A and B are shown apart, each in its own frame.
Chain A
Amino acid sequence: MKLFLATFVALIGGAAMADDLRIPLALELMENRETLIVGCKDGTLASIDTKLGRVRQMLEIGGSITDVKKVSDTELLATNFENGEVLRLQIRQGRAEIAERKKVGDFPVSLSVDPWKKRAYIIDKWRQRVISVRFSPTLELQGSCQLPFIPREQLLLANGKQLLVADAQGGNLAVLNADTLEIRSIRQLPAHNIRGLALNPDGDRIFISHQRLNPLARTTFDDIHWGMTMSNVVREIPVSAVLNPKTNLVDESRIWNLGTTGNGAGDPDDLSFLESDEIVIAVGGTGQIFWGKFGDTAPTRIATGARPTALAIDEFSERIYVSNSLEDRISVLDFDRKKVVGSIEIARKDLMISAAGRGQQLFFNARLSHDGWMSCHSCHTNGHTNEQLADTFGDRSFGTAKRIPSLLGRAQTAPFGWLGNKANLESQIEATLESTMHHNGGGFTAQQVEDLVAFLKSLPSPPRFEVTSAANRGKLLFRELNCVRCHSGTAFTRNDAFEVGVRDEDGNTEFNPPSLLGIRYQRSFFHDGRFTSLESIFTEGNHQLDRPLTSNQLRDLTEYLRSL
Chain B
Amino acid sequence: MVFRLLIIALGLLPSGLVAAEDSSPAATNVDRLMRRVDLVTVHHVEAPSNQQMVLTLARAIYQARQEAPPLDLARQISKMNRTSDYRELLTTCLEASTNPSHASRFALQALRQSLPGDCIELPAKEYRVREQLAANQYVGIGIVLGKSGNIPTAMKVFPGGPLDRVGGRDGDQIWTIDGTDVRKEEISTIVDLLRGPRGTQLQVGLKHTGTSIVVEKKLTRDVVPLRGLRDAEILERTIAFLDVDHFQASITQELRALEPSLREKGVQALILDLRNLRPARVHDVILFADALLPGGEIGTLNGRVLKAGEDAMLKNLPLAVLVDQTTRGSLEWLAASLQQAKRAIVVGDVTPGEPWGYSGFEINGEESFLMLPSQQLGLPSGQLLVNFGSLTRLPRQIGRRSRERWGVAPDVWVGGEMLEKAMRTGFKADRVAVEQAKEALLEVLTRIPQ
By the criterion CB–CB under 8 Å, are B253 and A261 in contact? yes
Answer yes or no: A98 CB below 8 A from chain B CBs. no
User: Within 8 Å CB of B136, what residues of A?
Assistant: 226
Q: Which of B250, B286, B295 has most A Cβ within 10 Å?
A: B250
Chain A interface: which of B66-74, B302-310, B377-385, B398-406? B302-310
- The answer for the CA separation of A297 and B310 in the assembled complex, in Å, is 22
User: Within 8 Å CB of A214, what residues of B?
Assistant: 287, 290, 309
Q: A190-B310, A212-B309, A295-B260 are in contact. Are A226 and B283 (CB under 8 A)?
A: no
Measured CB to CB, the closest approach of chain A to B303, in angstroms, equals 9
User: Within 8 Å CB of B257, what residues of A?
Assistant: 260, 297
Q: Which of A278-308 contact B (CB under 8 A)?
A: 295, 297
User: Within 8 Å CB of B250, what residues of A?
Assistant: 226, 261
By the criterion CB–CB under 8 Å, are A297 and B249 in contact? no
Nearest residue, chain A, Cβ from B250: A226
- The answer for the CA separation of A297 and B256 in the assembled complex, in Å, is 10
Q: A216-B290, A216-B306, A260-B257 are in contact. Are A226 and B252 (CB under 8 A)?
A: yes
By the criterion CB–CB under 8 Å, are B287 and A505 in contact? no
- Give the number of residues in A that approach B within 8 Å (Cβ atoms): 23
By the criterion CB–CB under 8 Å, are A253 and B311 in contact? yes
Measured CB to CB, the closest approach of chain A to B375, in angstroms, equals 10
User: Within 8 Å CB of A226, what residues of B?
Assistant: 136, 249-250, 252-253
Answer yes or no: B47 CB below 8 A from chain A CBs. no
Answer yes or no: B48 CB below 8 A from chain A CBs. no
Chain B, residues 269-311, CB within 8 Å of chain A (1/0): the string is 0000000000000010011001000110000010010101111
By the criterion CB–CB under 8 Å, are B286 and A216 in contact? yes
User: Within 8 Å CB of B306, what residues of A?
Assistant: 216
Answer yes or no: B339 CB below 8 A from chain A CBs. no
Q: A218-B283, A222-B249, A505-B304 are in contact. Are A257 and B310 (CB under 8 A)?
A: no
Answer yes or no: A223 CB below 8 A from chain B CBs. yes
The one of B253, B256, B309 in contact with A190, judged by C-beta atoms closer than 8 angstroms, is: B309
Nearest residue, chain B, Cβ from A249: B310
- The answer for the CA separation of A555 and B420 in the assembled complex, in Å, is 73
User: Within 8 Å CB of A399, what residues of B?
Assistant: 301, 304
Answer yes or no: A217 CB below 8 A from chain B CBs. yes
- The answer for the CA separation of A251 and B253 in the assembled complex, in Å, is 21
Nearest residue, chain B, Cβ from A233: B311
By the criterion CB–CB under 8 Å, are B311 and A250 in contact? yes
User: Within 8 Å CB of A227, what residues of B?
Assistant: 253
User: Within 8 Å CB of A261, what residues of B?
Assistant: 225, 250, 253
The one of B137, B256, B286, B290 in contact with A222, judged by C-beta atoms closer than 8 angstroms, is: B137
By the criterion CB–CB under 8 Å, are B135 and A222 in contact? yes
User: Within 8 Å CB of B252, what residues of A?
Assistant: 226, 228
By the criterion CB–CB under 8 Å, are A250 and B290 in contact? no
Measured CB to CB, the closest approach of chain A to B386, in angstroms, equals 23
Answer yes or no: A183 CB below 8 A from chain B CBs. no
User: Within 8 Å CB of B309, what residues of A?
Assistant: 190, 212, 214, 216
The one of B135, B283, B310 in contact with A250, judged by C-beta atoms closer than 8 angstroms, is: B310
Chain A, residues 229-273, CB within 8 Å of chain B (1/0): the string is 000000000000000000000110101010011000000000000
User: Within 8 Å CB of B301, what residues of A?
Assistant: 399
Q: Pick 18 A–B contacts, CB within 8 A, sort by A.
A: A190-B310, A190-B311, A214-B287, A214-B309, A216-B308, A218-B283, A222-B249, A226-B249, A226-B250, A226-B252, A226-B253, A227-B253, A228-B252, A250-B294, A250-B295, A253-B311, A261-B253, A297-B260
Closest 9 CB pairs of A and B: A250-B310, A226-B253, A222-B135, A190-B310, A222-B249, A226-B250, A216-B290, A228-B287, A190-B309
What 5 additional pairs, Cβ within 8 angstroms, besides A190-B310, A505-B304? A190-B311, A212-B309, A216-B306, A218-B283, A250-B294
Residues of B in contact with A (beta carbons under 8 Å apart):
135-137, 225, 249-250, 252-253, 256-257, 260, 283, 286-287, 290, 294-295, 301, 304, 306, 308-311
